[in-house]
């Protein structure tokens, strides 16, 4: 059962009780703090001249000719429900969300639940990615918008987002949908420990996918019938989340997941790196490296070893000015815990990549 919390009624410790166990978490009522112009008419007015390439969710292919964003937002409000859903993925695809949609960026940050902001915000002190040096070419972990039509009538054979997993944690907020009273999207999220059985089942069910990693390739969506077969054959069942307007879904690193919109909706998501799931993030880097070598997968934009190094330097710096902290208080104990954990991880990485870490160390001093 996925825990559903309500914004303003839980503490960080309460959230971490669930999060540390590798369980997804849903937080309702985040729209109370959300600011910005998020509905299609407003986005069309503000950014309608932008060129976009909508993706057909059945073929997973983008249109060859660009649309104006205004045209897509018009279709979003009046989609053809007999056709496959259409989506904009990772919008803007190659530009910074902060610079392209500065007002929306600030509004999204405000929507992150107060008790989770230190963990999930791009500048949160317990988000390891936030400690990257300003001149260190930090990875772009979002936010990005995911905008798609949806239809219950079209069926569940093709979802809006196919089965995949991420090496980072993520928060996904739903600031607009066509009908606020109804479920906007159905999520299926699998326990990270089930990935092996999930891959084997997909290879058995879809023989044409045996030459690739069926999760990293993002080439399949599991229908309700297929999910039932998975449960009967392997005993593997996903967490099912019915995301509504104003809800945030937190997805732990390494949890394979898929999404199907039941209606037109706008979502905005951002990745982060929590200390609770950093061991899983490290383990997944090897999987993605193999997939990248054999299947031309995406490049490693996270650069986790560099990220950990900067987080360690940042924490060392905070320890060195410890007169700002009472080390017996919750914040002080959290700081020391992060320092010790990252020190262990950096020691492991340094042992594996000794020459590389010596170079990074020299460069950090050169700065």
pLDDT digits (tens, 9 = 90+) for 240-249: 999 999 999 9
In the predicted model, is pLDDT for residue 134 greater than 80?
A: no
| pLDDT score of 153 | 61
What is this structure's pTM? 0.87
Q: How far is CA 19 from CA 12, 143, 172, 299, 332, in A?
A: 10, 21, 15, 28, 21
Strands (E) in the chain, as ranges, are 4-6, 25-28, 51-52, 55-56, 61-62, 67-68, 86-91, 144-148, 161-164, 169-177, 185-189, 239-243, 248-251, 257-261, 265-272
Q: What is the CATH number of domain 4-281?
A: 2.60.120.650
| pLDDT score of 91 | 95
In the predicted model, is pLDDT for residue 330 greater than 60?
A: no
What confidence tier does 350 reach under pLDDT thresholds 50, 70, 90?
Answer: very low
- Let me know: does 160 contact 147? Beta carbons within 8 Å: no
d(CA 337, CA 352): 23
The whole-number average pLDDT for the span 228-232 is 98
Least confident span in 118-132, 150-164, 319-333:
319-333
| Residue 131 token pair | 């400690």
What confidence tier does 297 reach under pLDDT thresholds 50, 70, 90?
Answer: low
What confidence tier does 304 reach under pLDDT thresholds 50, 70, 90?
Answer: confident
| pLDDT score of 354 | 45
What confidence tier does 337 reach under pLDDT thresholds 50, 70, 90?
Answer: low
Least confident span in 83-87, 230-234, 291-295:
291-295
- Let me know: does 214 contact 203? Beta carbons within 8 Å: yes
| pLDDT score of 307 | 85
| pLDDT score of 306 | 83
| pLDDT score of 353 | 45
- The residue ranking higher by pLDDT, 184 or 313, is 184
| pLDDT score of 215 | 94
Mean pLDDT of the chain: 85
Q: Which residues pair with 6 in a beta bridge?
A: 28
Enumerate the CATH 2.60.120.650 domain ranges in the chain, comma separated. Answer: 4-281
Across 103-142, b (16+ Cβ under 10 Å) vs e yields: ebbebbbebbbebbbbbbbbebbbbbbbbbeeebebbebb
The whole-number average pLDDT for the span 25-30 is 98
Whose structure tokens read 């299947």?
295
Q: Which residues contact 67 (CB under 8 A, 6 or more apart)?
A: 51, 52, 53, 54
- The residue ranking higher by pLDDT, 46 or 326, is 46
Q: Residues 271, 272, 276, 281: what is their CA dihedral angle, to the nearest 10 degrees?
A: 60
The whole-number average pLDDT for the span 173-185 is 97
d(CA 261, CA 240): 13
What confidence tier does 327 reach under pLDDT thresholds 50, 70, 90?
Answer: very low
| pLDDT score of 209 | 86
| pLDDT score of 17 | 95
In the predicted model, is pLDDT for residue 257 greater than 70?
A: yes
The whole-number average pLDDT for the span 166-175 is 97
From 244, 84, 62, 237, select the one nearest 155 (Cα to Cα): 84
Residue 80 sits at φ, ψ, to 5 deg, of -85, 105
| Residue 233 token pair | 């054959």
What confidence tier does 45 reach under pLDDT thresholds 50, 70, 90?
Answer: very high
92-125, pLDDT tens digit by residue? 988 899 999 999 999 999 999 999 999 999 999 8
In the predicted model, is pLDDT for residue 131 greater than 60?
A: yes
Which secondary-structure segment (H or E) carries 299? none
Please classify residue 46 by burial: count the beta carbons closer than 10 Å to its beta carbon, then call 0-12 exposed, 13-18 middle and 19+ buried: middle
Q: How far is CA 20 from CA 5, 115, 273, in A?
A: 16, 15, 13
d(CA 146, CA 243): 14
From 154, 166, 155, select the one nearest 90 (Cα to Cα): 166
- The residue ranking higher by pLDDT, 163 or 340, is 163
């Amino acid at each position: 059962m996925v825990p559903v919390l309500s914004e303003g009624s839980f503490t960080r410790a309460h959230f971490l009780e669930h999060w540390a166990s590798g369980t997804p978490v849903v937080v309702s009522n985040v729209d109370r703090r959300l600011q910005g112009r998020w509905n299609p008419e407003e986005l069309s007015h503000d950014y309608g001249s932008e060129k976009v390439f909508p993706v057909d969710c059945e073929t997973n292919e983008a249109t060859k000719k660009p649309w104006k964003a205004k045209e897509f937002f018009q279709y979003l409000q009046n989609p053809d429900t007999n056709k496959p859903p259409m989506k904009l993925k990772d919008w803007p695809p190659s530009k910074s969300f902060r610079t392209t949609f500065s007002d929306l960026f600030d509004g999204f940050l405000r929507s992150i639940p107060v008790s989770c902001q230190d963990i999930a915000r791009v500048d949160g002190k317990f988000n390891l990615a936030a400690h990257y040096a300003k001149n260190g070419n930090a990875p772009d972990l979002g936010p990005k918008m995911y905008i798609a039509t949806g239809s219950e009538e079209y069926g569940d054979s093709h979802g809006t987002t196919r089965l995949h997993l991420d090496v980072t944690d993520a928060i996904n907020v739903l600031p607009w949908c066509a009908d606020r009273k109804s479920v906007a999207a159905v999520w299926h999220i699998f326990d990270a420990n089930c990935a092996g059985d999930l891959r084997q089942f997909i290879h058995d069910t879809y023989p044409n996918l045996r030459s690739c990693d069926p999760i990293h390739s993002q080439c399949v969506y599991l229908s309700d019938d297929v999910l039932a077969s998975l449960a009967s054959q392997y005993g593997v069942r996903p967490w099912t989340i019915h995301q509504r307007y104003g809800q945030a879904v937190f997805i732990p690193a390494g949890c394979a997941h898929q999404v199907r919109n039941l209606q037109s909706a706008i979502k905005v998501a951002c990745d982060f790196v929590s200390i609770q799931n950093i061991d899983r993030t490290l383990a997944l880097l090897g999987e993605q490296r193999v997939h990248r070598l054999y299947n031309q997968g995406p490049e490693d934009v996270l650069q986790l070893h560099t990220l950990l190094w900067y987080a360690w330097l940042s924490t060392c710096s905070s320890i060195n000015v410890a007169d700002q902290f009472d080390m017996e208080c919750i914040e002080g104990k959290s700081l020391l815990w992060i320092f010790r954990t990252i020190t262990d991880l950096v020691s492991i990485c340094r042992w594996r990549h000794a020459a590389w870490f010596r170079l990074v160390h020299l460069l950090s001093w050169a700065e």
